[in-house]
């Protein structure tokens, strides 16, 4: 094996993928309800995305950010027209987008402390590891970047206890993804935003998993009626091509003046071509209403078929982001579902996580629910 053993990989070698279906090298088909960890929101090789990439491949692949790439402006405008943000910094991953958000927040406030939450996940670079409220992610890497503090999710008093004169920002996932699919409470979010406004603290929303239609809205924060100062995107933005984005209000633009931050590959034209097709498809009310209808259908099926099973403790859902909490370790269940042709994810230790493509059909939902029912009945 020439690769680092960084991942415990499942016994599946991929040959091809199309829509909701992944095929292995032997030709076996799987229903993909994990979408590459919430990335292929439009399904695999969505034709509009593919056409856009192919067109760009024939024009140019990379020239660096020393020159203008008009396709970056098109994607940035699509994001800012559809959000409270005004300026976009493009990078290549979720961790990089959060890294940029943390740097910008420190720079524009002149303060250092960033408050995040227990069970949060923000990435694996040094700053984003420090931001992540999970001890196991930080273990073994020596001293972390200083000035991060962890509050209790959905508990405004614990945030108040962490705030001091040096607090630059609070960083939040409106639905904690990796931590176990935990949606934030409306009152908690209201109180948090009010508190941050009163104390001149920036609100950073990590939309890396919840953004780009995943919850039935363009961005997850829309469910809560709030406007973050900064938010971050990645995963679904490129539908499989690596791209991240940090989006902020105009008043913070000067914090990232020339030389303050950068990335050789950030805003790569081929990744931008994918993102352009994604945003033009997803930022559409008809499309998003269909996502919500599918999410409602999935919810009905889960309530009817899966919730009554003995093993299931609770089902949590926001749009097409679902956590089936089994109250005990699910690591043996995920491969069993895979054997039966259904790819799912886990979240935390006890939660089966479903992130189907937003383009999933009701027939595919029925098939997935039936495989889950049959499997969860016997484990
Ligand atoms: C909410 C959230 N933030 C940040 C990240 C890190 O993204 P990446 O793996 O692209 O660096 C993830 C990845 O799972 C995530 O779910």
What is the model's pLDDT at position 178?
97
Ligand 1 mean position, distance from CA 245 (Å): 12
The protein residue whose alpha carbon is closest to atom 3 in ligand 1 is 122
Please tell me the distance from the alpha carbon of residue 44 to that of residue 358, in angstroms, as a whole number.
11
What is the model's pLDDT at position 318?
98
What is the model's pLDDT at position 1?
84
Please tell me the distance from the alpha carbon of residue 353 to that of residue 337, in angstroms, as a whole number.
12
Of the chain, the end-to-end C-alpha distance in Å amounts to 33
Ligand 1 mean position, distance from CA 310 (Å): 32
Please tell me the distance from the alpha carbon of residue 121 to that of residue 272, in angstroms, as a whole number.
25
What is the model's pLDDT at position 359?
98
What is the model's pLDDT at position 20?
98
The protein residue whose alpha carbon is closest to atom 10 in ligand 1 is 94
The two three-digit tokens of residue 146, written as one number: 């200083």
Where residue 368 falls (left for φ over 0; alpha for ψ -120 to 50; beta otherwise) is: alpha
Distance of alpha carbon 240 from the chain centroid: 13
Could you tell which of 6, 37, 38, 121 is best to mutate to test the pocket of ligand 1, judged by most ligand atoms within 8 Å of the CB? 121
Ligand 1 mean position, distance from CA 321 (Å): 15
DSSP, residue by residue, 134-154: -HHHHTTS-SPPS-EEEEPTT
The protein residue whose alpha carbon is closest to atom 4 in ligand 1 is 122
Kindly list the protein residues whose Cβ atom lies closer than 6 A to any atom of ligand 1: 37, 93-95, 98, 121-123, 173, 177-178, 206, 208-209, 234
Length of the chain: 379
CA dihedral over 229, 274, 342, 93, signed as positive or negative: negative
- Pairing mode of beta strands 113-117, 175-176: unpaired
Could you tell which of 37, 95, 171, 245 is best to mutate to test the pocket of ligand 1, judged by most ligand atoms within 8 Å of the CB? 95
What is the model's pLDDT at position 297?
98
Please tell me the distance from the alpha carbon of residue 86 to that of residue 148, in angstroms, as a whole number.
27
Quote the pTM value. 0.98
Ligand 1 mean position, distance from CA 82 (Å): 22
- Pairing mode of beta strands 244-248, 230-233: antiparallel
Ligand 1 mean position, distance from CA 144 (Å): 18
What is the model's pLDDT at position 306?
98
Ligand 1 mean position, distance from CA 95 (Å): 6
Please tell me the distance from the alpha carbon of residue 208 to that of residue 93, in angstroms, as a whole number.
9
What is the model's pLDDT at position 59?
98
| Ranges in the chain, pLDDT < 70 | none
Please tell me the distance from the alpha carbon of residue 33 to that of residue 25, in angstroms, as a whole number.
19
Ligand 1 mean position, distance from CA 374 (Å): 31
The protein residue whose alpha carbon is closest to atom 8 in ligand 1 is 94
Residues ≥6 apart with Cβ < 8 Å to 276: 52, 71, 74, 75, 78
């Amino acid at each position: 094996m020439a690769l680092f053993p960084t991942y415990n990989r499942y016994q599946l070698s991929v040959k091809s993928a199309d829509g909701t279906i992944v095929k292995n090298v032997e030709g076996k088909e799987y229903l993909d309800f994990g979408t590459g960890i919430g990335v292929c929101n439009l399904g695999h090789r969505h034709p509009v995305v593919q056409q856009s990439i192919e067109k760009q491949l024939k024009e140019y692949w990379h020239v660096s950010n020393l020159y203008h790439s008009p396709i970056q402006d098109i994607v940035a405008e699509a994001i800012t027209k559809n959000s409270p943000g005004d300026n976009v910094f493009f990078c290549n991953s979720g961790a990089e987008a959060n890294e940029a958000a943390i740097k910008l927040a420190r720079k524009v406030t002149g303060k250092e402390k960033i408050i995040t939450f227990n069970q949060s996940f923000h990435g694996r670079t040094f700053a984003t590891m420090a931001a992540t409220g999970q001890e196991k992610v930080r273990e073994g890497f020596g001293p972390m970047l200083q000035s991060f503090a962890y509050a209790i999710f959905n508990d405004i008093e614990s945030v108040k206890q962490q705030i001091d004169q040096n607090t630059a920002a609070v960083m939040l996932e409106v639905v904690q993804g990796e931590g176990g699919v935990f949606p934030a409470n409306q009152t908690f979010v209201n109180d948090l935003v009010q508190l941050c406004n009163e104390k001149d603290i920036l609100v950073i929303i990590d939309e890396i998993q919840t953004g780009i239609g995943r919850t039935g809205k363009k961005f997850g924060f829309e469910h809560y009626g709030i406007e973050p100062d900064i938010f971050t995107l990645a995963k679904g933005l490129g539908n499989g091509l690596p791209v991240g984005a940090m989006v902020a209000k105009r008043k913070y633009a000067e914090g990232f003046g020339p030389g303050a931050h950068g990335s050789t590959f950030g805003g790569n034209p081929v990744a931008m071509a994918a993102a352009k097709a994604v945003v033009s498809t997803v930022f559409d009310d008809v499309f998003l209403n269909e996502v919500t209808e599918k999410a409602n259908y999935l919810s009905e099926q889960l309530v009817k078929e899966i919730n009554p099973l003995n093993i299931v403790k609770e089902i949590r859902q926001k749009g097409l982001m679902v956590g089936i909490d089994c109250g005990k370790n699910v690591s043996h269940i995920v491969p069993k579902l895979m054997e039966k042709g259904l790819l799912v994810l886990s979240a935390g230790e006890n939660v089966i996580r479903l992130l189907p493509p937003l383009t999933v059909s009701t027939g595919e939902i029925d098939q997935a629910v039936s495989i889950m029912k049959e499997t969860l009945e016997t484990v």
